[in-house]
Amino acid sequence: MSQNKLHVRSGDRVKVISGNYRGATGQILRTIPDERRVVVDSVNMRKRHQQPTRENPDGGIVSFEAPIDVSNVMLICPHCDEPSRTGTRVDADGTKERICKRCDNPIPKSEA
Ligand SMILES: [Zn+2]
C-alpha cells in the first residue's frame, strides 16, 4: 500500500501557505510523490545560469520552478474558492472521491 499519495494532483489550484511564496496561488504542474513535493506554476522560481551549448549558443539565464514541499500548499476548492482541507468519501457505488471539508462538495480531478 502506498503511503505516498498526496492531497493534491497535477492541475489543481493551490495556495502556498508557508515559505517565501506564502500567499501565492498557482496550478500544480507536477507532483513528486516519492519526495512529497510538488511543482507549482510561477512559485519558487529559480534561475540557472547556463553555459553556451550547441543547442543554445548564447547561454544565458534559464528560469524554472523548483519543487516545494507538499505540506506547504493547500488545495483551493473550486466550489467555495477557499484553501481547504480535503477528505475522502466513498460513494454508495464504491467510488472514492475527494471532498472539500469546508463545503462538503466533491473536488473533481482537474488534469492539466
Ligand atoms: Zn469547498
The answer to the question of residue 109 being in a domain is: no
Report CA torsion sign: 17, 19, 23, 24.
negative
**How far, in Å, is the centroid of ligand 1 from the Cα of 86?**
9
Residue 111, pLDDT above cutoff 70: no
CA dihedral 53, 54, 57, 61 (to 10 degrees): -30
Q: Domain residues for 32?
A: 13-84
Which burial class, exposed, middle or buried, applies to 10 when counting CB atoms under 10 A from its CB (0-12, 13-18, 19+)? Answer: middle
Q: Could you read off the pLDDT of 51-85 as tens digits, one per residue?
A: 888 888 888 899 999 999 999 999 999 999 999 99
The answer to the question of residue 23 being in a domain is: yes
**How far, in Å, is the centroid of ligand 1 from the Cα of 78?**
6
Per-residue pLDDT, 4: 75
11-25, 35-49, 68-82, 83-97: lowest mean pLDDT where? Answer: 83-97
Instruction: Tell if the pTM clears 0.85, that is, is over it.
Output: no
Residue 88, pLDDT above cutoff 80: yes
**How far, in Å, is the centroid of ligand 1 from the Cα of 105?**
6
Number of domains into which the chain is organized? 1
The answer to the question of residue 95 being in a domain is: no
Q: How far is CA 99 from the centre of its chain?
A: 17
